[in-house]
Each structure stands twice: as C-alpha cells, then as structure tokens.
C-alpha cells in the first residue's frame, strides 16, 4: 500500500516470501550503508523471483540527467520484461530539476501509470531539510518507505547477538561487550567480522578467547560521539573516543571546534540563568534540538558557572598550542591537553588546572 512505513526487519522478511507483494515505488532511507544495502538486496532478490529481468541503476546529484527517470519508466519492453530501477541521491538534495522529476514520478505512481516496473529511491537519513521538501512529501505519500534503523552503542550487543544467531552461534554478555568495543561505529565492518566468526568457528557458543583471536579493532568514532559522552558526564568513554579520533587522523581543530561550540552554548545558557532567565527557553534559538538540548541542560546543572568560564580559556589555550605557541600552565602537546579538557568538561571532580 502506498504511503506505508513497515518495520525494517519485517520488510526484509516479507520480501523473502515467495508470494511477496511488490510495489511500484519504494524509498529506502538511512545513513547505515550495510542496512541500506540489505534492504536493497532483499528487494532485488524478490524482483528476480517475480520475473524482473532488467535492472537500471542511476546515481543522481542536483546536476544529474534527471530525464533518465522518465525515459526508463516510459519505455516499454517488446518482450514484456519487468524492470527494477534504482535511483540513488547520495546527498539527499536533488535540486530544482531533480525535485520536479521526483514529484512527477510520484504523480505517475498515484495515477497507477508505473506498470511492469518497480522504482527504489535510495536516500541518506531524512533530516529536517529533506523531510520538509515538497518532492520528499510527494514521493513518500505514494511509496513504501523503509527507514533503516540507527543502531546505538547500547543496542549494538543485542544486534551482534542477533547476527550471530543467524549463523547458529551465540556469545555471553562479556564477549558481546568486547566485540562492541572493537566494532563500534562501523556496522559494515562489524557485519564482516561476524561473518568471519561463522567461517572460523563451528555452531554454538563462542568463547572470548576465540573472538579476541578473530576480531580486528575496526571501531570508528566521530566527534559527535565524544560530545555526547562528555555531556553525559562519561569521561572514560569520552577519552576513549578522543584517542580513537586521534589515531584515525582526525584534525584537532575539528575536534576542538565542536567542544568550543558546546562550551559557548553552555556559557550563553549559564549567563541567561545568572540573569534570571530560564535557559530551557533559549535552546531553540541556539539551534539545540533533542537529544543535544537536554544533554546541554544537564551539563549546565552539573558544572558551576566559574568552571564554564575556565573551559573557555582552556579551549583558547589548546588552540594556541596547536598553532605552535606556548600556554602558561598547559602541557606542550595539544592532544594531551585536549584530553584534560575533555575530562574537565565530563566530570566536575576532574582536574581544574
């Protein structure tokens, strides 16, 4: 049915049935490449079973040849072959021409003019800009919308266990926690490591020693992981992510820039509170939305105003160190001093140098 949004796992399972009902228009949306590919693979397999012998793949940007959509949906096979057309918009921004082409596609779907063809539109996660666009509304009203799930760190052990179960293996909580630490933030690599465990070891329970021998450290972090850990007061995790970013070659100014952004927001809200205003009323003006807004407010309650003032100077000193200038009372290595700032922001009892 047009406009439906089935559960991701249910969608995959239903497409695996011999009598799966195929629709003329799908939208597969999400940032996890592994899950997006799995949804697309399931659709391809179902199409093959039902005689879709042709597959057309388009990857389009705002300047792409959007007329290819109409050409492929209007061309009629002399032999009655069915066609799967995959349209990937990597940026999620089709531009004016692309947006018009997608609205036209949605209108044709609404008029039931898409015959002997199934169209899959592949997008990144629909943020506020994408979801409010006219073309997105038009398409999703006519499409089966598949939003691939976001697998958080807390959900990752259960996700790993479910993947092990597919190959008739399982692991205890400690082993799952170890795997999670090694593959966090890199779901595609996690999938590959799990498949490797299936090839190396028999069915049944995996021991920690077996997993340690097989699984590489393929964790991948980003600065937002660190920011959220800091604002939750989890200094140990924040420090781990910081070291991971450094090892992966992340630029220090990028990391410092995000921390400085958080510090400035904390300072603005702390000042408002000092002046008798409710800081919660200012979060939207500062561009803070869930879950970041509540994390910032919680940190505001945890850190005294004087310490927030000190964070500003600390960040400034790290910037000086990175540019090759000394800073009184600071370490000479900017990354080491960054670690002190991270702990100081995450834990009120940490060093206040």
Read off the pLDDT of residues 232-253 as tens digits, 9 standing for 90 and up: 998 988 988 898 888 778 889 9
Query: What distance in Å separates the CA atoms of residue 86 and residue 229, rounded to the nearest whole number?
Result: 38
| Same-domain pairing of 92 and 115 | yes
Last residue of a domain, one of 187, 214, 241: 214
Sheet-wide strand order for 117-123: 52-59, 82-88, 117-123, 25-29, 144-147
Last residue of a domain, one of 110, 128, 147: 147
| pLDDT for res 84 | 94
Is residue 224 pLDDT above 80, yes or no?
yes
| pLDDT for res 197 | 92
The stretch 178-189 carries a mean pLDDT of 85
Which domain covers residue 79, as residue numbers?
A: 8-147
Choose the weakest-confidence range: 49-53, 191-195, 215-219, 291-295: 215-219
CATH number, domain containing residue 127: 3.40.50.300
> Which letter does DSSP use for residue 248 in this model?
T
Q: How would residue 75 be classed by pLDDT, with cut points 50, 70 and 90?
A: low
Are the C-beta atoms of residues 42 and 12 closer than 8 Å to each other?
A: yes
| pLDDT for res 278 | 94
Of 254, 251, 187, 185, give the one whose Cα is nearest residue 221. 185
Positive or negative torsion for Cα 149, 154, 156, 161: negative
What region does 253 belong to: left with phi over 0, alpha with psi -120 to 50, or beta? alpha
Is residue 83 pLDDT above 50, yes or no?
yes
Domain count, the chain: 3
| pLDDT for res 350 | 40
Query: What distance in Å separates the CA atoms of residue 160 and residue 190, rounded to the nearest whole number?
Result: 8
Last residue of a domain, one of 120, 147, 174: 147
Percent of the chain residues topping a pLDDT of 90? 57
Angle at 128 between CA 122 and CA 133, to 5 degrees: 65
CATH number, domain containing residue 206: 1.10.8.60
State whether residue 342 is helix, strand or coil.
Answer: helix
Q: How would residue 349 be classed by pLDDT, with cut points 50, 70 and 90?
A: very low
| pLDDT for res 353 | 39
What region does 51 belong to: left with phi over 0, alpha with psi -120 to 50, or beta? left
Please state, rounded to an integer, the average pLDDT across all residues of the chain.
89
Are the C-beta atoms of residues 120 and 85 closer than 8 Å to each other?
A: yes
The stretch 101-123 carries a mean pLDDT of 93
Residue 351 lies in a domain: no
Query: What distance in Å separates the CA atoms of residue 226 and residue 22, rounded to the nearest whole number?
Result: 42
Choose the weakest-confidence range: 35-44, 73-82, 222-231: 73-82
Are the C-beta atoms of residues 95 and 101 closer than 8 Å to each other?
A: no
The stretch 70-78 carries a mean pLDDT of 72
């Amino acid at each position: 049915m047009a406009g439906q949004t089935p559960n991701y796992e249910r969608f995959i399972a239903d497409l695996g049935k011999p009598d799966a009902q195929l629709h003329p228009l799908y939208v597969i949306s999400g940032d996890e490449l592994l899950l997006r590919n799995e949804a697309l693979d399931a659709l391809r397999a179902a199409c093959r079973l039902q005689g879709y012998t042709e597959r057309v793949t388009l990857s389009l940007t705002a300047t792409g040849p959007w007329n290819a959509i109409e050409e492929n949906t209007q061309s009629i096979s002399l032999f009655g072959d069915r066609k799967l057309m995959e349209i990937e918009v990597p940026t999620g921004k089709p531009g004016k021409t692309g947006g018009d082409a997608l609205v036209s596609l949605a209108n044709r779907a609404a008029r039931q003019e898409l015959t002997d063809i199934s169209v899959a539109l592949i997008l990144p996660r629909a943020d506020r800009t994408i979801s409010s666009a006219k073309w997105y509304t038009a398409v999703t009203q006519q499409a089966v919308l598949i939003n691939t799930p976001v697998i958080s760190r807390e959900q990752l052990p259960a996700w790993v266990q479910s993947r092990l179960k597919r190959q008739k293996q399982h692991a205890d909580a400690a082993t799952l926690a170890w795997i999670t630490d090694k593959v966090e933030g890199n779901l595609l690599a996690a999938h590959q490591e799990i498949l490797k465990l299936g090839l190396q070891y028999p069915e049944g329970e995996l021991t920690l020693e077996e997993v340690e021998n097989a699984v590489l450290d393929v964790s991948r972090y980003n600065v937002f992981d660190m920011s959220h850990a800091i604002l939750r007061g989890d200094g140990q995790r924040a420090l781990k992510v910081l070291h991971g970013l450094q090892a992966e070659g992340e630029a220090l100014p990028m990391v410092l820039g995000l921390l400085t952004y958080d510090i400035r927001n904390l300072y603005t809200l702390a000042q408002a509170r000092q002046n008798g205003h409710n800081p919660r009323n200012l979060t939207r003006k500062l561009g803070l939305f869930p879950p970041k807004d509540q994390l910032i407010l919680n940190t505001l309650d945890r850190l005294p105003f004087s310490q927030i003032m000190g964070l500003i100077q600390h960040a400034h000193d790290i910037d000086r160190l990175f540019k090759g200038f000394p800073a009184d009372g600071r370490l000479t290595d900017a990354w080491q001093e960054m670690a002190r700032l991270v702990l100081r922001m995450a834990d009120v009892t940490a060093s206040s140098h």
